[in-house]
A and B are shown apart, each in its own frame.
Chain A
Amino acid sequence: MAYDALIGPFTEFEFMRRALAAVIALSLAGAPIGVFLMLRRMSLVGDAMAHAILPGAAVGFLLSGLNLFAMTAGGLIAGFAVAILAGVVARSTGLKEDASLATFYLASLALGVTIVSIKGTNIDLLHVLFGNILAMDDQTLLVVAFNATVTLLVLAVIYRPLVIESVDPLFLRTVSRAGGPAHLAFLALVVINLVNGFQALGTLLAVGLMILPAGIARFWSRDLTAMICIAVIAAAVSGYAGLVLSFQTRVPSGPAIILVATVLYVASVLFGRVGGIVRQLFPGRHLEA
């Protein structure tokens, strides 16, 4: 019975196996990015970036129809343009990155909507907005896996300066010039993972599989490595459970995944070892030192 409910869908249906592979790839790459977004106080920047990608994907859709490569390319171009321009303006003028990004993503959104309205098509962007991981074909899965691999490789390269820049940016500036390129590469990774996520979860929820697991991890560890591992596991578990939930109840897959992650998040807020509410209410006797 439990086997039929929890494992059966994946042994029986190829589209479920593909979806599971996709969420695991998304979790492996997106969750570490989410941890850094959160620790760098950029969670909402991720959300803003997701909006910036939307018009790019829409333009891709207008030009090539429902072609995921065109939409991905459009999303990547829009996202990179906004991320890099915002980063460059923030670094060269002293304007705060969030203010700079807000300007560029609003401009990007307005431009996208204008282009769509000029074309005059009442396009069906529902799946761009909310994704459909269950409709993923082999090619798309390969794109998702490729992007995840690139993300992990680039993250490995920029990991050290990214950590130092997050904790003590002034120090990094005095010993190295790696801070700027590392930050821009990180923004690029954010865009890649948002585009990766929108094929499965849609632009509006893509950031969810990055930020929610990071938030969960924060309640269980004070160590960066452990936080990244917990975030990846939380994302993969949410993905798996969300797919099962979607399969059994016909709730759309994207929202199901994010809802499961939300349940894990609420449980972590309540029972988390680091700053959880229950732990704060019943901390136990204080220690000697």
Chain B
Amino acid sequence: MAALHFHNVTLGYDRHPAVHHLNGEVASGALVAVIGPNGAGKSTLLRGIVGILKPLDGSIHLGGLDSRDIAYLPQSAEIDRSFPISVFDFVGTGLWRGTGLFGGIGKAARDKILRAIAAVGLNGFENRPIGTLSGGQMQRVLFARVLLQDASLIVLDEPFNAIDSKTTADLLALVKNWHTEGRTVLAALHDMEMVRTHFSETLVLARGPVAWGPTAEVLTPENLMVAMRMCEAFDDSAAACAGDDGRSQAA
């Protein structure tokens, strides 16, 4: 069963597409890497999937999932780190699905939060304000919140950027664990070695799909070269798109 279905999706800003005419589907429980150079449209695609960005054209079907079933870890979260909130409370916001506006945080929920914080290796940080954390620690906190969200679709936008190898290894283990639990995971990544080793399926993106399928078949020098040569075509006076130009169903 498909967790995600793209039907001729075009996503972009102010009529300018960042991703053109994407067709295809992500199977439930898949572990998919989305790769491509800067400006390829990876983040835009992920924003479209989680519903922050509406498609300019086409549609994205979530296979019966509610927006609450999706956990999203953005690349540059608009988090106000100066806000006076502790690690415990911040991670606890991941329970929104269960608590909503008024739901109480009882002992069971508190234990859950503590377990999530422990799972990302931040024991003892519960009462620290988030403003005092390092970049890597903050990323661990964000992963702890994703853990608590208990979502069936997890969307991660460059989750290992500017993070040391130990933290990367720890967080990657969490990602693989989510996959083992049958959750669908999509991650925008730049580390080809990591993709090759740990991700079974890959979408190579360059403002449109270059290739999509099993990583071993898709991650070829030819495909990567095509993606690298991608033109960052932003033209203020561009004509209206005539439609699917044949790149739609790559792979």
Contacts and interface: CB of A to CB of B under 8 A. Distances in A.
Interface in B68-127: 68, 70, 72, 74, 77-80, 83-86, 90, 93, 96-97, 99-102
B145 to A, nearest CB: 8
A168 B70 contact: no
Given A157-B101, A161-B101, A164-B93, A174 B70 contact: yes
B75 to A, nearest CB: 10
A168 B141 CA distance: 13
Contact of A176 (B85, B96, B130): B96
Contacts of A160: 99, 101-102
A176 B66 CA distance: 11
Contacts of A262: none
Interface stretch (A14-22, A118-126, A221-229, A247-255): A221-229
Contacts of A221: 84
A224 B96 contact: no
B51 interface: yes
Contact of B80 (A166, A173, A175, A176): A166
A170 B78 contact: yes
Contacts of B100: 176
B240 interface: no
Interface string A150-172: 00000001001101101111110
Contact of A169 (B78, B84, B85): B78
Contacts of B40: none
B107 to A, nearest CB: 19
Interface string B48-61: 00111000000000
A39 B83 contact: yes
Given A168-B78, A173-B52, A227-B84, 7 more contacts: A167-B80, A168-B77, A175-B68, A175-B96, A176-B100, A222-B129, A223-B86
Interface of B: 50-52, 67-68, 70, 72, 74, 77-80, 83-86, 90, 93, 96-97, 99-102, 129-131, 145, 149
- In the complex, the 5 A-B pairs of residues with the closest C-beta atoms, listed nearest first: A167-B83, A175-B96, A174-B72, A168-B79, A224-B84
